[in-house]
Structure 1
Amino acid sequence: MDRIDIIKSNQTKLSKRYKELVEQAYNFRQTDSALSDISEYRAIKLLNKLNRLKYLSRELSQPVI
């Protein structure tokens, strides 16, 4: 596999997990605020990883001058 393909597959996997955590945090908001905060924190950490992968994929896809 090419590096860009590996990065893209990781992005899709992390994006799916991010959406699950955000939904989980929203659902826990009314019943258990501590669990909601934990899920939101994990989602923020995943979003940071996603942003770094997006930067890497952008950097790799640009031609070298």
Structure 2
Amino acid sequence: MDRLDRIRIDQEKLKNKYKLLMEQAYNLRQTDSAQSDISEYMAIKLLNKLNRLKYLAREHQKTLV
């Protein structure tokens, strides 16, 4: 498995976890706003990781071309 495949696998895992956290934050918004904020914060942190992986994948593809 090369580096680009590993990055894509990690991206998929993080995307799924991000979606779950955002859904949880949305569902908790009416009942427990503090927990909703925590879930949204964790989702934002995952989004930052996703953006870094996207950058790495793009840089890796440029070096291959």
The structure with the largest helix share of the pair is 2
Q: In the alignment, which residue of structure 1 is the partner of 2:36?
A: 36
State the TM-score, normalized to the length of structure 2. 0.96
Letter in 2 for 1:36: S
Count of aligned residue pairs for this structure pair: 65
Cα deviation, 1:5-62, whole Å, max 9, x if unaligned, reads 0000000000000000000000000000000000000000000000000000000011
Residue 47 of structure 2 corresponds to residue 47 of structure 1:
yes
State the TM-score, normalized to the length of structure 1. 0.96
For residues 49 and 63 of structure 1, the distance between their equivalents in structure 2, rounded to whole angstroms, comes to: 21
Q: In the alignment, which residue of structure 2 is the partner of 1:27?
A: 27
**Percent sequence identity over aligned pairs:** 68
| Superposition deviation, residue 63 in structure 1 | 3.4
| Superposition deviation, residue 64 in structure 1 | 6.0
Letter in 2 for 1:37: D
Q: Note closer, same or farther for the CA distance 1:21–1:4 as it changes in structure 2 (3 Å cut).
A: same
Question: What stretches of structure 1 move > 2 A for 4+ residues in a row?
Answer: none
User: Unmatched 5+ residue regions in structure 1?
Assistant: none
C-alpha RMSD of matched pairs (Å): 1.3
User: Unmatched 5+ residue regions in structure 2?
Assistant: none
